[in-house]
Amino acid sequence: QQAVLQVDNLKTYFHLEEGKTAKAVDDISFKISPGETVALVGESGSGKSISALSIMQLINKPGRIEGGKITLNGKDITNYNAKQMTKIRGNDIAMIFQEPMTALNPVFTIGNQITEIVRKHKNMSRQEAHQHAVHLLKLVGLSRAEEIMKEFPHQLSGGMRQRVMIAMAISCDPMLLIADEPTTALDVTIQAQILDLMNEMKERFQMALLLITHDVGVVSQYADRVMVMYGGQIVEEATVDVLLESPKHPYTQGLLDSLPMVDKDVNRLGTIKGTVPPAYDFPSGCRFSTRCPHVMEKCHSHNPRLSTSDSEHHVRCHLYPSEVKE
């Protein structure tokens, strides 16, 4: 089955002052199949958002895609120009951000904005586009759709704004939806509603979903497969069941330990000591070596590669020497 998205050896670096280079995304590869939900998980600063923005070609100076290949539904889009990418972003890939206020224009009504998007993608009259926009708003659970069309973004709650963003995303029938921390800014009770809605829309419109989150609880509930990111690299990848059952990488184990579960002492929250090192100052060797409870001598000098021996479960750690080449 052809992947919806295939990323090969993607590198995105930021060239900072004083000649420093931040290797925000450093040689990541992955695939997403049609209909699949893949979670990209890690703490903030691990390179998740930069990965998504790189796929969308939304990286600005001093950032630059240094290498790699991005294939969308079999087409190599790596060297697409700005105009071609605008088309891709409208038709094939939609993105939902953490804070919908930044994606919505505060001076136009919801109706203006959603109708404009609909008209850009579908050959519809203004009247037809208006009807379609109302239909989409109802589809995402906004029952007062006609009224909301006349309202401005600031008049809606955060949850309603995110519903509007989902409506806009599905209005162009994308094959891939990228959601970057879509519920982080919302109340806990609203978070689940929005994630359920996204999941429902994903199934209904048969999209693939790249779900970026720092929340392992979200991963366990919605993802089919998980990629754990640390220091600009993927350090573990497996199906969600395998990853939750038998995490191999010490970083993944730490993330899972921080999950509040009923049978666990809540005091164990946040068991990974320290913070993600800045991307211009990774330690030599394994990038997790400054925080790893299992760090060994060779971890300081050699950065392990992602294993390939087991096609279902990849890990980047010297604790698994038979699986990892140097």
296 binds ligand SF4 (CB under 6 A): yes
72 binds ligand SF4 (CB under 6 A): no
Distances (CA, A) of 311 to 31, 168, 275, 314: 13, 37, 31, 7
250 binds ligand SF4 (CB under 6 A): yes
Largest CA distance in the chain: 69
* Residue 55 interface partner, choices ligand SF4, Mg ion, none, CB cut-off 5-8 Å depending on type: none
Candidates 231, 289, 306, 323: give the one binding ligand SF4 (CB under 6 A): 289
* Residue 23 interface partner, choices ligand SF4, Mg ion, none, CB cut-off 5-8 Å depending on type: none
Q: Which stretch binds ligand SF4 (CB under 6 A): 5-13, 50-58, 123-131, 285-293?
A: 285-293
Nearest approach in angstroms of CB 274 to ligand SF4 is 12
Distance between CA atoms of residues 238 and 227, nearest Å: 7
Closest CA to 283 of 301, 309, 310, 308: 301
256 binds ligand SF4 (CB under 6 A): no
* Residue 49 interface partner, choices ligand SF4, Mg ion, none, CB cut-off 5-8 Å depending on type: Mg ion
Q: How far is CA 120 from the centre of its chain?
A: 25
Question: Footprint of ligand SF4 on residues 173-232 (CB under 6 A)?
Answer: none
Q: Which stretch binds ligand SF4 (CB under 6 A): 15-23, 93-101, 108-116, 316-324?
A: 316-324
Q: Is 185 exposed, middle or buried (0-12, 13-18, 19+ CB in 10 A)?
A: middle
Judged by the rule CB under 5 A, the positions of this chain that interact with Mg ion are: 49
Q: DSSP state, 41? A: E
Alpha helices in the chain (DSSP H): 48-55, 82-91, 100-103, 110-121, 126-139, 145-149, 158-171, 188-204, 216-222, 240-245, 250-257
295 binds ligand SF4 (CB under 6 A): yes
Distance between CA atoms of residues 95 and 11, nearest Å: 20
Residues linked to residue 179 through DSSP beta bridges, in sequence order: 96, 211
* Residue 292 interface partner, choices ligand SF4, Mg ion, none, CB cut-off 5-8 Å depending on type: ligand SF4
Closer of 174 and 254 to ligand SF4 (Cβ): 254
H-run or E-run covering 67:
strand 63-72
* Residue 247 interface partner, choices Mg ion, ligand SF4, none, CB cut-off 5-8 Å depending on type: none
Candidates 292, 313, 314, 323: give the one binding ligand SF4 (CB under 6 A): 292
Residues at the interface with ligand SF4 (CB under 6 A): 249-250, 286, 288-289, 292, 294-296, 299, 304, 317-319
